[in-house]
Every structure is written in structure tokens, then in C-alpha cells.
Amino acid sequence: MAILQATPESIELAVQCLKNGGLVGMPTETVYGLGADASNPDAVKRIFAAKNRPENHPLIVHLASASQLDDWAQAIPESAYKLAQHFCPAPLAFILKKRPEVSEIVTGGQNTVALRIPNHPVALELLRQFNGGIAAPSANRFCRISPTQAQHVADELGEDVDLILDGGACQIGVESTIIDLSGDRPTLLRFGQITRSELEAVLQTDVFIPDSLSQTTVRTAGMMAIHYAPTTPAFRCETRFLLEQLKNDTQKIGVLTCGSMIPASQTRTVIQLPADSVSYAQNLYAKLRELDALKLDFIVVEQPPQSEAWHAINDRLSKATREIG
């Protein structure tokens, strides 16, 4: 495994690696992906092995342009083209009916496929030169925090990835919005930077949100099927309870605040994140990783605001932390 600065030469190496069935760590605007040739089932199987990901958990196929959607999907509704024209390249993945020739290894056995045109110059150049679909989940081990820097990919996957293209820190920092357009009504499957209101404004119709997704406050972490979690026990609490939770100074505590100033001490490491959702999202995973590496007794995250701009962040925090207070 090597981390290579993204240049025309290293992108060419990455293309060769993909063509040979290899795994490439690639930057996108959301998080780093672990890419493989989506039309090579053996290469795609290596993704599942490297991540320890169950094989029924489908992957997103990345494309250079919306004009390739119908290479992978069929019966594409007008709504997909409307959204693609308005947003793409974008942190937005479409679930569409798959073409019969798309391998079920990519789609986890489903008859639908997830497609995304990422808005990152290195990813787009790689996709253009590769001239095909790149299947890429986030480049972390299953259930761990997604990587937002090239070094995170190396730390997560080590020798299980063949080459990592370094395209700098990810601009957005949380995974893409997923919209399912394969059924009767547009359905939001994952919150991301593109919000439900923005999708509805373009589609001129309601976007349905399943119940399980709208519950951004989860009472017991164990209730969630999947966590994007640090290994250190992590909690989140409202600002007004924060100081109360930090009284115990016999334990080593990490604190991630959302704007609040909390004094650090010998036993307490404090990271202050900005109280605007864009910068907060950019930094969240990297800072959780930093705190996780300190081998603390626990981490406390200050609950951010609940408005729509924070939905993606609160969704990830509800999986990474348990609510206390």
C-alpha cells in the first residue's frame, strides 16, 4: 500500500490498479471511498473482505457523468434526470432499478443499484480515465468512522488497500444523501448535505422519509443495526448538562463541543468545533478519530442544534454516541 499525491501519473497508476482488479483508496467530496472495478465481481468481493462488510450490504457505483446512469440502471424516472441536472456532480446517490447485467455482488442481491457522480476533481478524473463504474463504499472497516483524509484510509485498511490517492481533506465530511427513486414515491434513505427541502424544491413533490430515519435521537445505542462509532465509549448531551457530565475528574475524558468553550484540564481534552453545520461536518470524523486515538475513558459530544442543516450530522451522531443528560 502506498499513499500517492493525486497527479496525472498517480491517477494513471490507480486506473491500472483498478483494471487489474485492485483496490484504490479514492478521495470524494464526502468521505474517502474504497474503490474497485464495479464490473469485476472478484475485485468487488475484495472490498467486502477488506472492510469485513456483510455481502448483503450493497455498494454505491460511482460514475463520471449522469449520461452513464442508463449503463447501470433501467426504467429511470424523469425525477432522476431532474435531480441529476440540478445537482450533479454531487453528494447525492440515486437508488434505481438495476440493469440485469449489473452483478448482484455489487447490489447485495437487490434488484436496485445505487449510483453517484461525486463532485471531486480527482474522483472525476479517475472515473473519466477508467471509463467505467467504480464501486466504492466508505474506506473504513465495517461500522467504524468514515475516513476524511488519505492517512485515515491507511490507518483503517493498511495492506488491504493497494494504493491510496491523496486528494486532501474531504470538503463535506459526511456521506452522501441517498434518495430511492425505484419505487412509487421518492424516498430519502440517508441524510446528507443535500437536504430533503432542497430535493423537494427541485422535484416539486414530497420526499418521503421512513420512520426509522426521522428518529434522530436514539435512546439506546444497541438499538441501532449499524454504528459509525469510535472504539471509545461515546455519549452526547445537551449543552446545559455538559458541565455536569464532566465533573468526574478521575477519568480521562474527551469533549467535542459545538461552539461552547469548555476549559481543558489534566484529565480532560477539549476540542471545540464551530457552531456552523458546514464546518462542523467537515471536521467531525477527523476529530472523533483524534479523540479515539487518545485511549480515553470516554468521549462526550455536545448536542448540536436540531434544524434541517444539522440532520445529517445528528443522524451520524445518533449512531456514534449514546444520549445522556
When asked if residue 28 is in the footprint of Mg ion (CB under 5 A), the reply is: no
Q: Taking a C-beta distance cutoff of 8 angstroms, is the pair 180, 60 a contact?
A: no
**Of 118 and 167, CB closest to ligand TXA:** 118
Considering only 10, 11, 24, 33, the residue that binds ligand TXA (CB under 6 A) is: 33
DSSP H helical ranges for 29-97? 41-51, 69-72, 78-87
User: How many C-beta neighbours within 10 Å does residue 283 have?
Assistant: 17
Q: Does 257 bind Mg ion (CB under 5 A)?
A: no
> 104 vs 200, which CB is nearer to ligand TXA?
104
Which stretches does DSSP call E strand in the chain? 2-5, 24-26, 33-37, 60-62, 92-97, 112-116, 134-135, 163-166, 177-180, 187-190, 234-237, 253-258, 268-273, 298-302, 322-323
Residues 110-169 that bind ligand TXA (CB under 6 A): 110, 112-114, 116, 118, 136-138
Closest-CA residue to 164 (of 35, 282, 42): 35
Q: Does 93 bind ligand TXA (CB under 6 A)?
A: yes
| DSSP letter string, 147-187 | P-SHHHHHHHHGGGSSEEEE--S-SS-SPPEEEE-SSSS-E
Q: Which is nearer to Mg ion, 27 or 125 (CB)?
A: 27
Residue 107 contact among ligand TXA, Mg ion, none, beta carbon within 5 to 8 Å by kind: ligand TXA
Given the rule CB under 6 A, which of 1-9, 16-24, 54-62, 216-224 is the region that contacts ligand TXA?
A: 54-62
314: contact with ligand TXA by CB under 6 A: no
Q: What does each C-alpha distance from 7 to 13, 28, 159 come to in angstroms?
A: 10, 15, 22
Nearer to Mg ion, 106 or 258 (CB): 106
CB 317 → Mg ion: shortest distance, Å? 15
Q: Does 176 bind ligand TXA (CB under 6 A)?
A: yes
**Cα distance between residue 196 and residue 202, in whole Å:** 10
Does residue 318 sit in helix, strand or coil?
helix
Give me the least distance between CB of 324 and ligand TXA, in Å please.
27
138 binds Mg ion (CB under 5 A): yes
Q: Which is nearer to Mg ion, 133 or 137 (CB)?
A: 137
Interface residues with Mg ion (CB under 5 A) are 138
Interface residues with ligand TXA (CB under 6 A) are 28, 30-31, 33, 57-60, 93, 95, 107, 110, 112-114, 116, 118, 136-138, 175-176, 178, 189
